[in-house]
Structures are given as C-alpha cells and as structure tokens.
Amino acid sequence: MITMITSELLEKLLQKVRGKGVVNLFRLITDRVPHSFFETNNHIWLLRHLDAEKIGIEPKIPVAINFSMSEFNETADWIKRNNLLWGHSGKEMRVAISEGHYWVNVKSGGKIIGFIKIGLGKVFVSDYEQILQFPPNVAFLHEIHVAGEFRGMKIASYLLNETCKFCKQQGYKKVITYVHDWNKASLKSFFNVGFREIKKIYYYKIFGIKFLTANPTDV
C-alpha cells in the first residue's frame, strides 16, 4: 500500500512548515508513511569542555584502562565475539583505522568488560549512516559499553572520565557525544562526569533521503 500525498495533506504540511518548522514537517510525514519507507531516531548531544574543573570518580572494583592504538584490534575482536556489531561495521572500522581512532577497552582481572570508541577527525556515525568531519580540537566519544554483570559499579562513569583526561593530554579542548533520548542510564553517566546537553537532533530517512535537523559537528 502506498500513501498518497493529497491536496489536504499537502496543505497541512505547508501549515506545519509555516507554523512550527521542519521538525514538525518530518513528524507529520512519518505519521503518514509506512515504516518500510522511513527511519527515524532522536539523540541528545552532549559536550564537556576539557578546561573545566577536574572530576574525581572511582569504580567500585579495580579496573585497568590502556589508552593505546595497540588495543584497537583486541577491542574490535571482543566486540565481534560478543555480538555487538551495529550494522555498517566494516565501513566504520575502515574510517576509524584510516583516521587513527582509539577503540579502548576496560579490563577487570585481565579480562575485557567494556569499551569506548574515541573518534577523531572523520567518523562514520552508524545511526546517521554517514561520515561526519569533526573540528580538529574536538574528540567524539561513541559506543561506550559495559558488560551487564558489571553495570552499577561506576565503571562507565570512570571510563568516561579517564577518557576525557586522556583527550585533554592529547591537546583536545572539547569532547562531544550523543545519547538516545530514552537512554536515561547513559545520560546519567555523562552528566556525572561533567557533560551538559547542547542540542537535540532528529534524524529522518524518508524514501532513501536523509535529513538531520541540526549539524552535529557545529560545536
């Protein structure tokens, strides 16, 4: 079944654009179009200035983090073994390797229990299915993950905080990231280490055409 754009619907779309802008236009379209023809997600984008006051966080169990490029393959292998590949993984990895990204793992008792990806320069963002170019003084954090049995132990907050320290040592001035607006646990972890919300971005893919309601790299 194909949903036709009638003159009545077109007039409603124009009214939305005049009254409340492009976000409401996309919402009205996605309400009328079958889900097989569109995708949508909403993210809260967060920022932490690295010249801000230092924050001290300690995990509830001893853990080790090694910020080294040599950890990349070990982290990638662990992600694959634990079925944590989120589509487009081949393209994401190729861009990460060419741009010198850090895929850092956190260990307990010598075993990996989580990871974080530090994107620098060009980053393939799977949620948007495109490569974004971040400013040279900005590091982009994405896909932080801690194994289920180790959650609630401040490991994610500790990993984030130590990652910010590392980025500052490397000369970066800001760190940004995004979180799905429904993911309250992740938002709490970021707020705990000094991140603040800077904008909410809506992503739409309608009949193969992609739309973002704001530029993520404009920081």
Specify the pLDDT at position 92: 92
Q: Is residue 14 one of the residues assigned to a domain?
A: no
Segments forming the whole domain that contains residue 108: 43-199
Query: 0.85 exceeded by the pTM?
Result: no
pLDDT of residue 93 exceeding 80 = yes
pLDDT of residue 87 exceeding 70 = no
165-189 residue pLDDT tens: 999 999 999 999 999 988 888 898 8
Specify the pLDDT at position 34: 54
Q: Is the dihedral of CA 108, 109, 113, 119 positive or negative?
A: positive
Q: Is residue 184 one of the residues assigned to a domain?
A: yes
**pLDDT band, very low/low/confident/very high, at 219 (cuts 50, 70, 90):** confident
CATH of the domain at 164: 3.40.630.30
**201 within 8 A of 212, measured Cβ to Cβ:** yes
Q: Is residue 10 one of the residues assigned to a domain?
A: no
Specify the pLDDT at position 3: 31
Q: Is residue 207 one of the residues assigned to a domain?
A: no
Q: Is residue 194 one of the residues assigned to a domain?
A: yes
144-171 residue pLDDT tens: 999 999 999 999 999 999 999 999 999 9
Q: Is residue 105 one of the residues assigned to a domain?
A: yes
Question: How many Å apart are CA 193 and CA 196, to the nearest integer?
Answer: 9
Q: Is residue 116 one of the residues assigned to a domain?
A: yes
The burial class, CB within 10 Å (0-12 / 13-18 / 19+), for 139 is buried
25-70 residue pLDDT tens: 555 555 555 555 667 888 999 999 999 888 899 999 999 999 999 9
Q: Is residue 1 one of the residues assigned to a domain?
A: no
Q: Is the dihedral of CA 200, 121, 139, 172 positive or negative?
A: negative
How is residue 23 written in tokens? 């976000």
Specify the pLDDT at position 210: 83
**pLDDT band, very low/low/confident/very high, at 5 (cuts 50, 70, 90):** very low
Question: How many Å apart are CA 171 and CA 137, to the nearest integer?
Answer: 7
Q: What percent of the chain has pLDDT over 70?
A: 81
Number of domains the chain is built from: 1
**91 within 8 A of 124, measured Cβ to Cβ:** yes
Mean pLDDT of the chain: 85
**How far is CA 4 from its chain centroid?**
35
Can you say whether residue 207 is alpha, beta or left, with left for phi > 0 and alpha for psi between -120 and 50 degrees? left
Residue (of 116, 110, 114, 117) closest to 62 by Cα position: 110
